Amino acid sequence: MKDRAELVIIGGGVIGLSLAYHLALMGLHDIVILEQGYLCFGASGRNGGGVRQQWSTEDHIRLAQMSVKFYRNFSAALGLNIWFRQGGYLFLARDERSAAAMEKNVKLQNSLGVPTRLLEPSEARRIVPQLSVEGVKLCAYNPTDGVLFPWPVLWGLAKENRRMGIDIETFTRVTAIDVRGGKIVKVVTDRGAIATNLVVNAAGGWSVQIARLAGVELPNKPYRHEILVSEPLKPFLDPMVADLSNGTYLSQTMRGELCGGISDPEEKSSLDNSSSLRFLRRMSRSMLRLFPHLGPVKVLRQWAGYYDETPDGNPVLGHTPGLEGFIQMNGFGGHGFMLAPAVGQLAAEWLLRRKEHGIFNTYNLERFARGELKKEDLVIG
């Protein structure tokens, strides 16, 4: 392992890999990425692969639009098939309040060029004939949203990064971050130390622990989110279906499996990633409400990952107040994968070419002290 680098990225997930990829394309190659486990160990290897542009804030919509373009070209540009399929996202609202919010969000999305349409429940059944729309008031459907397979995205980015001279050290745990005179000077790992003046904290669920090593407190909290896949079925479900009443999301993968999860309001913040029967029960009930014919379909596997959640549902981006050389890129909740290509590119331009972008101010850590929070409402799963 190198003992000196221009930049050390902590976290080998999609955020860190995307940042390194874009930096390398712009000419910075002296980068070490530190990953505590194997590639795919954290949330980047444990999510449902949804990539949507239906959001409630302009920033998220624009970042997601950029990311969709990137994922569309990924397989051709990076030589690995990521199974990106734009089958759309179909949101279901079951009460007046979420139907009203849906109308407002769709207007905003349309004004930014996202072709989301409001649908009556009967129209939604034309897109998914097997869907039970009993109790559904209103739907929103954007045909350009989609689903991908997360693992090859990481492998493709990692392979390309390595080809461009970037070091990716897996199974390497950061044990200390040395600070001298208000500046980062060194990252210490269980496999040796790396002298550097620039560190990016892209550690997802572990970002609070990493920040603490440098004496910085983040307001993020990791929450376990569980997910399951079924046995493979003949393709019948084109869009990702998301039920806003309980945070269920469900899509069909290119292998034919149904894959999805559900919010659990009783989940406490923790770094526990065990699997629970409670999740299986809640998710299967929700799935059967949406698709009553699926009763005999078997669940093959369940697992869990983390949402690295912030108080306002937006990420923490940019400089750390009072500590030079410590960049935050975390707090992406359940949508880091959807925003990573855009955020990686913008952060690379911002770091290397000093090109300003609003997100590094709007979503700076300082905002929590200032109390200027603009909440993202469309967080599901």
Partner 1 sequence: MAKKIVCRCEDVTREDLQHAFDAGFHDLESIKRFTGMGTGFCQGKGCLAHAARFLAELRGGDEAIRDPIRSRPPWQPTPLCSLAGDDKEEVQ
Encoded amino acid at 356, one letter: E
Give min distance, CB of 298 to partner 1, in A: 4
Give min distance, CB of 160 to partner 1, in A: 13
Task: Pick between residue 145 and residue 257 the one whose CB is nearest to partner 1.
Answer: 257
Residues of this chain, 153-182, that bind partner 1 according to CB under 8 A = 155, 171
User: Taking CB under 8 A as the rule, does residue 100 contact partner 1?
Assistant: no
172 burial via Cβ count (<10 Å: 0-12, 13-18, 19+): buried
**Measuring CA to CA, which residue among 88, 162, 163, 156 is closest to residue 128?**
88
Options 29, 151, 164, 193; binder of partner 1; rule CB under 8 A: 151
CA gap 285, 279 in Å, rounded:
10
Residues of this chain, 42-71, that bind partner 1 according to CB under 8 A = 45
Angle between helices 58-78 and 150-163 (to 10 degrees): 70
User: Taking CB under 8 A as the rule, does residue 295 contact partner 1?
Assistant: yes
Dihedral angle, C-alpha 145, 156, 151, 115, nearest 10 °: 0
Task: Pick between residue 41 and residue 249 the one whose CB is nearest to partner 1.
Answer: 41
Give min distance, CB of 228 to partner 1, in A: 9
Give min distance, CB of 171 to partner 1, in A: 8
Residue 195's H or E segment, with its range, is strand 192-195
User: Taking CB under 8 A as the rule, does residue 134 contact partner 1?
Assistant: no
Residues of this chain, 189-228, that bind partner 1 according to CB under 8 A = none
CA gap 302, 280 in Å, rounded:
8
Task: Pick between residue 3 and residue 38 the one whose CB is nearest to partner 1.
Answer: 38
User: Taking CB under 8 A as the rule, does residue 38 contact partner 1?
Assistant: yes
User: Taking CB under 8 A as the rule, does residue 230 contact partner 1?
Assistant: yes
Residues of this chain, 256-285, that bind partner 1 according to CB under 8 A = 275, 277, 280-281, 283-285
Give min distance, CB of 254 to partner 1, in A: 12
Options 40, 61, 114, 327; binder of partner 1; rule CB under 8 A: 40
Q: Which residues have C-beta within 8 Å of that of residue 211, sequence separation ≥ 6?
A: 201, 217, 218, 320, 326, 328
Give min distance, CB of 339 to partner 1, in A: 23
**Measuring CA to CA, which residue among 147, 151, 145 is closest to residue 43?**
151
User: Taking CB under 8 A as the rule, does residue 294 contact partner 1?
Assistant: yes
Q: Read off the DSSP letter of residue 190.
A: B
* CB 78 within 8 Å of CB 157: yes
Q: Which range, of 137-145, 293-301, 307-315, 343-351, touches partner 1 by CB under 8 A?
A: 293-301
Options 296, 354, 370, 371; binder of partner 1; rule CB under 8 A: 296
* CB 278 within 8 Å of CB 302: no
The gap from C-alpha 330 to its chain's centroid, in whole angstroms, comes to 10
Give min distance, CB of 12 to partner 1, in A: 12
Number of residues that bind partner 1 (CB under 8 A): 30
Map residue 321 onto helix, strand or coil. Answer: coil
Give min distance, CB of 365 to partner 1, in A: 33
Options 95, 123, 134, 231; binder of partner 1; rule CB under 8 A: 231
**Measuring CA to CA, which residue among 212, 224, 261, 225 is closest to residue 241?**
261
CA distances from 315 to 5, 102, 117, 220, 379 (A): 26, 22, 27, 9, 12
**Measuring CA to CA, which residue among 59, 58, 144, 146 is closest to residue 104?**
58
Give min distance, CB of 296 to partner 1, in A: 5
Give min distance, CB of 249 to partner 1, in A: 16
Q: Tokens 């300082």 belong to which residue?
A: 366
Options 301, 353, 355, 375; binder of partner 1; rule CB under 8 A: 301
Contact positions toward partner 1, by CB under 8 A?
37-41, 45, 151, 155, 171, 230-231, 275, 277, 280-281, 283-285, 287-288, 294-303
